[in-house]
Amino acid sequence: MTTSLSAVIRDPAAPFSIESIHLDDPGPAEALVRIVATGFCHTDLVGRSGLLGEHFLPAVLGHEGAGIVEKVGVGVTSVAPGDHVVLSFDSCGVCASCHAGRPTDCEAFEARNLLGLTPDGRRTARDAAGAPITNRWFGQSSFGQYALATERNLVKVRDDVPLEKLGPLGCGVQTGAGSVLNVMRLGAGQSLAVFGAGAVGLSAIMAAKLCGAGEIVAVDLNSDRRDLALELGATRAVDGSDGDVVAAVRGDSGGLDFSFDTTGVAAVMANAVRVLRRPGACVLVGSGLEMLTVHPSELTGKTVTFSYEGGAVPQNFIPRLIDLWQRGLFPFDRLIDTYELADISRAEVDAAAGVTVKPVIVMP
């Protein structure tokens, strides 16, 4: 058993509670990781929303952890105690999609990442009174000093790379960059419109620049985010409150080759379809409850898909992003502001208000 100082959500409307919880020892195909830092992602708000049922809370959230392996369970061979790791999403490893190298299409993706339980339905953490706490959010629940993870969601990284910066690669940055590099496979000279210039959207913009995109249009309500998008590679920036956003994004062209929505807002997603040329492809990643509504004729010559985690195999893709960052080609660290664990509620407020692009929680 391991004691961890962790941020616990007990009430959807209340701030995080910093508590000492007790974690079980790692079981087969599991590892205990000492978390150095973890990113705060918009998807964590889903975990604290109450939408996952009355039995989900209390819970430890967090799914962009980075740290050092402390212990491994029976059968673990890809990592060992002392290894530096980034924690990403979980997958089963046995379904047809996993066998085909497409873990983001895992048949058990939602069960393994959104329920906060082990694959056999258990919680492996308890509070000081002995009551169970949900602790397998995205197979990790990394808002604490320690996390139990599966071998499938651990990515071994080099020891000389600062773990304090790497957590966001496990989800938000991977989703943005991977959507461009793996899902769209955007080519040199092609065009892209990005709706929402948060961490995911800005990562997509940096990836599009890497691809040699001819035009990259950033759309956001926040002027500071639009300015940052231009600094990171966007060729134009459009105010999302413009009276005719579609016309403003299209500009003098007949439409763009690709569009990317991170907002999950119905009207914005529809506009992401409308800005496309024919043929054109729209990739959606926003986590929300609103529906995409367009007339079927608006899909003529166009494709629309929803993508998890940028279609990435984390064990391959995250080291690739680290290499690009070290070469000065993918400056994702410009998105990061750090907070102490005790200040995690302030980090949440700052992220929601647009003050911080990507909060990273540093563990004591």
Over residues 15-35, the mean pLDDT reads: 97
User: Does a structural domain hold residue 165?
Assistant: yes
Q: Residue 255: is its pLDDT beyond 90? A: yes
pLDDT-derived band of residue 51, with 50, 70 and 90 as boundaries?
Answer: confident
Q: Per-residue confidence at 287, pLDDT binned at 50, 70, 90?
A: confident
Does some domain include residue 123? yes
Per-residue pLDDT at 47 exceeds 90:
no
Whole-number pLDDT of residue 205: 98
CATH number at residue 232: 3.40.50.720
Q: Is 304 helix (H, G, I), strand (E, B) or coil?
A: strand
The pLDDT value given to residue 288: 83
pLDDT tens readout for residues 69-110 = 999 999 999 999 999 999 999 999 999 999 999 999 999 999
- pLDDT at residue 257, as a whole number: 98
Same domain, yes or no: 159 and 303 = no
User: Which pLDDT score is estimated for 156?
Assistant: 98
pLDDT in the model for residue 50: 81
Would residue 325 count as lying in a domain? no
User: Would you say residue 319 lies in a domain?
Assistant: no
Let me know whether 103 and 157 are in one domain.
Answer: yes
Nearest to 91 by CA among 141, 148, 154: 154
Residues 29 and 114 in one domain: yes
| Chain mean position to CA 240 | 23
106 and 218 assigned to the same domain:
no
- Segment 241-259 shows an average pLDDT of 95
- Compute the mean pLDDT over every residue in the chain, rounded to the nearest whole number: 96
Confidence tier at 48 by pLDDT (50, 70, 90): confident
Domain assignment present for residue 249? The answer is yes
* Residue at 93 is within a domain: yes
**Domain CATH for 107:** 3.90.180.10
Q: Identify whether residues 142 and 206 lie together within a single domain.
A: no
- Tell whether the model's pLDDT for residue 289 goes beyond 90: no
Residue type, 14: A
152 with 36, same domain: the answer is yes
**230 shares a domain with 278:** yes
The answer to whether residue 315 sits within a structural domain is no
213 plus 346 within the same structural domain: no
Same-domain check for residues 182 and 154: no
Q: What integer is the mean pLDDT of 352-356?
A: 92
Residue 305: pLDDT band with limits 50, 70, 90: very high
Q: Are residues 279 and 337 in the same domain?
A: no
For 77, other C-beta atoms within 10 Å of its C-beta total 8
One-letter amino acid of 100 = A
- List the structure tokens of 113: 């990442």
Task: Please report whether residue 320 resides in a domain.
Answer: no
Task: Give the mean pLDDT of 337-348.
Answer: 97
Measured between alpha carbons, how far is 197 from 206 in angstroms, rounded to an integer? Answer: 11
In contact, 72 and 26? CB cutoff 8 Å: yes
Is the distance from CB of 227 to CB of 354 less than 8 angstroms? Answer: no
Report, as an integer, the average pLDDT of 215-233.
Answer: 98
Q: Note down the domain range covering 75.
A: 2-170+331-362
- Phi/psi-derived region of residue 49, left when phi > 0, alpha when psi is between -120 and 50, beta in every other case: alpha
Q: How many domains does one find in the chain?
A: 2
Which residue type sits at 302?
K
What is the model's pLDDT at position 53?
Answer: 83
Measured CA to CA, the distance from residue 75 to residue 262 in angstroms comes to 38
Assess whether 194 and 163 both reside in one domain.
no
- The reply to whether 146 and 51 lie within a common domain is yes
- What's the mean pLDDT in 209-234? 97
E strand or H helix at 250: helix 245-250
Q: Which residues pair with 280 in a beta bridge?
A: 302
Express each pLDDT in 174-214 by its tens digit: 999 999 999 999 999 999 999 999 999 999 999 999 999 99
pLDDT in tens, 142-167: 999 999 999 999 999 999 999 999 99
